[in-house]
Chains A and B, each alone.
Chain A
Amino acid sequence: MASKLTRSNRSGWLMAFPGVALMTLFIIVPFFLAFAFSLTNQRLASPNAAEYVGFENYSDLLGLAVFTLEPERDEDGAVLRDDDGEIDYPRLRNFTRNNPEYPGLQGKREWFSWQSGDNRTVVLASDVVFMKALVNTITFVFFVAPIQAGLALCLALLINQRLRGINVFRTVYFMPVVVSIVVVSLLWKFIYSPGDGLLNNVLGWLSFGAFNGIDWLGRTDTALPSIMAMSIWQGVGFHMVIWLAGLQNISPTLYEAGNIEGASKWQAFRYITWPGLRNTAVLILIVITMQAFALYAQIAVMTKGGPLDSTQVLVFQAVERGYGKQDISGGSAISVILFVLVLAISLVQRYLTREK
């Protein structure tokens, strides 16, 4: 490695300089700053000097506890039930707020819970919003990465043909990529609008009025899928172009040879196209994963993390805390966690898709 670098001549370094300098200034330095800030209680604006606090910001974000709630019982030990027959439990806040018997639960909140017999087992988190953001972000990546990559490949196959006017289709599919994501988000906010929104209108018309309008972004079960759908639509054109470049790199002679040997369309795809796209596929998967983890603008414009945290994501939380609530150290800690997460997933992807 070292010998390669020393062999590079001066003009090579000179040409690399602008890019390297910008990346150092705006990516590498801020990253190390974020890591340093995350170990302090640095504020955005404050007369108090920052202090080193160790990993407190991380334990505040990641703290978890499990607690079993036993039902309220009457004098005979029978389980008390409310009017609907549901078991009565003591309120969690009796344990989590200023209760010296349970110091480990102080300030924690219910994340999720399940029933086991008469007892209810509750998982508590120090920072439920962060946990929900983490889960939502991973869910988003889990659905968006394969669907967006698959759709983009289908589109690329469709437009990789010598047809009159094929450029029109290429342009149409690519258009959403060129439009600012903020503008796209605003437009889709109108499309998803409750009541008279475009989507509700179209669905109502298609179903001859049988469809009842849905408040797409206002329901906890539809908000995140709605944002996934628009994000896939917006980004698919970009990855289509990368697939297309990969497709056009495959030598036509391979297809001719396949033709002569009587390969079906499926066989041509399976044994010529797909192996030829291998490196492109790895690139696209990693790029989409990283882009999807960085989800921010759609959330900031469309839902601000609501309703009930169903669209909270990590980057939005990092900005909200670091900037909105002036807690630079908390925002930095989230950024560092996100970095570790993306790095780990990218490494796993690299390992799984390595040349065998």
Chain B
Amino acid sequence: MKTLPILAGLVISTSLAGAASAQTDLSLWYHGAGSANAEEALVNELVEEFNASQSDYVISIETFPQLAYNDAVGAAALAGELPDILDVDGPVMPNWAWAGYMQPLGIDESLLEGFLPGPIGSWNGEIYSVGLWDAAKAMTTRKSTLEKYGIRIPTLDTPWTGDEFNAALQTIAASGDFDYPLDLGMAWKGEWYPYAFSPLLQSFGGDIVDRTTYQTAEGVLNGDEAIAFGEWWQGLFEKGYAPGTSQDAADRETGLIEGKYAISWNGNWAAPAVVEAFGEDAIFLPAPDFGNRPVIGAASWQFGVSATSENPDGARAFIEFAMQDRWFTAFSDGTGLIPPTRSAAADTKFYAEGAPLEAFYGLSEGQALVRPVTPGYIVQAKVFEKALADIADGADVADTLDAAVDEINEDIENNRGYGHN
């Protein structure tokens, strides 16, 4: 029901724009229609304040459900009807830039000082998009659980080693107190797999694609490190440490709180519910270090300027207007997402010093690695997802990774290298 007054506001603001002919109309597309938290309302508020703050531009916002958003942008691009300002998911951005949907952002780069690496979207040496927030993941569990089984509580400086982590899972599994010691979120198909699990592979020393050239996955996704990761990954399910690909989606949401799982590999967006359930007992731990370094994924939704925009200056003005600590703080408070700068974090209710999710800011700062920055990522993500699901279901590790490499390389070749400089 909340949308009604907003819609009314929109109608009024757009009709006012028609009256004041000196102003330039700009359009903004946004992915979060019907989002459960305050994100959508905040974006509307941001647009209204921007419109009120100056007299050159009037932005009208159109929101889409997330599942239909990327399709809508693709269709609009084909029809030549892209909006001026695009909302884009971080790992998808290089594809859109390469496909000619977006133009380099061209904002004042001093505004990006002190930013976490995740919310800055750059490709081929140009910045194309910038985010007002980031997301992070952590091994979510209870202090009392770890203490009960005599497991060391890791810190950002000394995370669990791979052996330590495996031993912890073994100890918890042997106790028989939980259905599974570890919940990886296998029920969340799609982007969750590359977002959440490729960091584990990177921690072993492998990757989805060779980042020096982005022209091959050979030796990276099927090298010795990747095969070691695959064997470990398969073992998690063989030994019954984690529920597999047929995990019930409801268990993913509530399993940790209900005591079915001991440790959950989950995002900061799920953290408020855990804090609410366990209070001080809830802890958010860094990813284990499997040899290379501990890694978590980074980059969330960001704003950029479409290639066909006739008023890129207006679009830039809007994005620069949004890049203020007060907006970062407002979005973080409203959605539980991580603000992109430390100064903004200091004022938020979740990430300030001593606040319940403070650990996530450190995780984002210390461990975050963006997903492969290449237009081919959207294909590579799907190939990776299938490979991990198959290995979890018992497929031969080396053969599966070989097949994934072949498919990724073939796709890169079919796209003539995806235009990397």
Q: Report A's interface with B, CB cutoff 8 A.
A: 41, 43-48, 91-93, 96-97, 107, 109-110, 128, 193-196, 215, 217-218, 220, 304, 306-309, 320, 324-327
Q: Is the CB of B246 within 8 A of A218?
A: yes
The 10 closest A-B CB pairs, nearest first, are A218-B246, A307-B393, A45-B99, A325-B379, A308-B393, A107-B406, A215-B246, A47-B100, A93-B402, A109-B403
Find residues 118-143 in chain B having any chain A CB closer than 8 Å to their own CB.
none
A220 CB contacts on chain B under 8 angstroms: 393
Provide the bound-state CA to CA distance between A236 and B391, in Å: 36
Interface pairs (30), CB distance under 8 Å: A43-B414, A43-B415, A45-B77, A45-B95, A46-B98, A46-B415, A48-B415, A92-B399, A93-B398, A107-B410, A109-B402, A194-B246, A195-B248, A196-B248, A218-B245, A218-B393, A220-B393, A304-B189, A306-B389, A306-B390, A307-B246, A308-B393, A308-B394, A308-B395, A320-B382, A325-B379, A325-B382, A326-B378, A326-B379, A327-B414
Q: Is the CB of A91 within 8 A of B99?
A: no
Find residues 228-252 in chain B having any chain A CB closer than 8 Å to their own CB.
244-246, 248
Question: Is chain A's binding surface mostly helix, strand, loop or mixed?
Answer: loop
CB distance from B311 to the nearest CB of A (A): 23
Partner of B248, one of A41, A46, A97, A194: A194
CB distance from A187 to the nearest CB of B (A): 14
Residue in B closest to A302 when the chains form the complex, CB atoms: B246
A110 CB contacts on chain B under 8 angstroms: 399
Q: A48-B416, A327-B414 are in contact. Are A218 and B244 (CB under 8 A)?
A: yes
Provide the bound-state CA to CA distance between A228 and B284, in Å: 43
The reply to whether the CB of B74 lies closer than 8 angstroms to some CB of chain A is yes
Provide the bound-state CA to CA distance between A193 and B249, in Å: 10
Given A43-B415, A45-B99: 18 more A-B contacts, CB < 8 Å = A44-B74, A45-B77, A46-B415, A47-B98, A91-B398, A92-B399, A107-B406, A128-B403, A194-B248, A215-B246, A218-B246, A304-B189, A307-B393, A308-B395, A325-B378, A325-B379, A325-B383, A325-B411
Q: Report B's interface with A, CB cutoff 8 A.
A: 74, 77-78, 95, 98-101, 189, 244-246, 248, 378-379, 382-383, 389-390, 393-395, 398-399, 402-403, 406, 410-411, 414-416, 419
B403 CB contacts on chain A under 8 angstroms: 109, 128
B189 CB contacts on chain A under 8 angstroms: 304
B98 CB contacts on chain A under 8 angstroms: 46-47
Q: A45-B95, A93-B398 are in contact. Are A327 and B245 (CB under 8 A)?
A: no
B74, B393, B394, B410 — most chain A CB neighbours (10 Å)? B393
Provide the bound-state CA to CA distance between A306 and B247, in Å: 13
Provide the bound-state CA to CA distance between A107 and B406, in Å: 7
Provide the bound-state CA to CA distance between A211 and B394, in Å: 25
Provide the bound-state CA to CA distance between A195 and B246, in Å: 11
B244, B246, B383 — most chain A CB neighbours (10 Å)? B246
Provide the bound-state CA to CA distance between A93 and B403, in Å: 10
Residue in B closest to A304 when the chains form the complex, CB atoms: B189
A196 CB contacts on chain B under 8 angstroms: 248
Partner of A47, one of B99, B402, B411: B99
A193 CB contacts on chain B under 8 angstroms: 248
Provide the bound-state CA to CA distance between A218 and B411, in Å: 29
Q: Is the CB of A217 within 8 A of B74?
A: no
Q: Is the CB of B399 within 8 A of A109?
A: yes
Partner of A41, one of B78, B379, B389, B414: B414
CB distance from B184 to the nearest CB of A (A): 15
Residue in A closest to B414 when the chains form the complex, CB atoms: A41
Provide the bound-state CA to CA distance between A215 and B392, in Å: 15
Provide the bound-state CA to CA distance between A326 and B101, in Å: 15
